[in-house]
Amino acid sequence: MNIAIYGAGGFGKEVACLINRINASGCCDWNLVGFFDDSKPVGMQVSSYGKVMGGMELLSSYSEPLAIAIAINDNKAVKRIRESIDNPMISFPNLIDPSLFYVDKQTVTMGEGNIIQNDCMISCDVVIGSFNLINDHVVVGHDNVIGDFNGLMPAAHLSGGITIGNNNLLGVASVVLQGMTIGNGVTLGANSVLMTQPRDNSTYLGVPAKRFDF
């Protein structure tokens, strides 16, 4: 099936590489037709992976079935873009690196539009919503429930029994201890360890992570 990437920046190129790895594994046969991006000129070459075809206007009128991967490393922007796409010809597949290790795949459920990069681990009895970015080397423990539009940056580690709402960002190499509940709009800084319940729409930094106002 034809697929395009929304976002022609660095992360868009990484998602193109992910699509190539998925194809090489033999589990899918995606045909990457190009990129959509409202801030880049039409026809711009994106490394060796394809060209910018247009922006939201073109995508809204696209007349053939097309899968879209939203490759924007900003969970709030991903939400805005998804809410702007109402073309019934567009679908949002989960793009999962072949290196993902499932402890028990049969007990994992997942929505749509998720991007899971290389060398991640997902344990058993895990629920993952839609349009989450799970970046390189992320560990998702048992009995985790993850909502929508969350970003888990490289090497983030989630212990068991964690509930995460929507629009949260967990920084590089951050850790969430077992049993925590994260609501909505929380940012956990790089290398931080969350040991207490965070407030919504707040930023936490440090070991143990403490709330900071900016």
Under 8 Å CB-to-CB from 173, ≥6 apart: which residues? 153, 154, 155, 156, 157, 190, 191
Can you tell me which residue has the tokens 């049993």? 179
55-106 confidence digits (pLDDT tens)? 999 999 999 999 999 999 899 999 999 999 999 999 999 999 999 999 999 9
Q: What is the pTM of this model?
A: 0.96
Strand, coil or helix: what is 20?
A: helix
Count Cα neighbours of 119 within 13 Å in the Cβ-side half-sphere: 6
Position 162 scores a pLDDT of 98
Q: What sign does the CA torsion over 180, 185, 191, 192 have?
A: negative
Q: In angstroms, how far is the first alpha carbon of the chain from the final one?
A: 45
CA distance linking residue 161 with residue 145, whole number of Å: 8
For the chain, give the mean pLDDT: 97
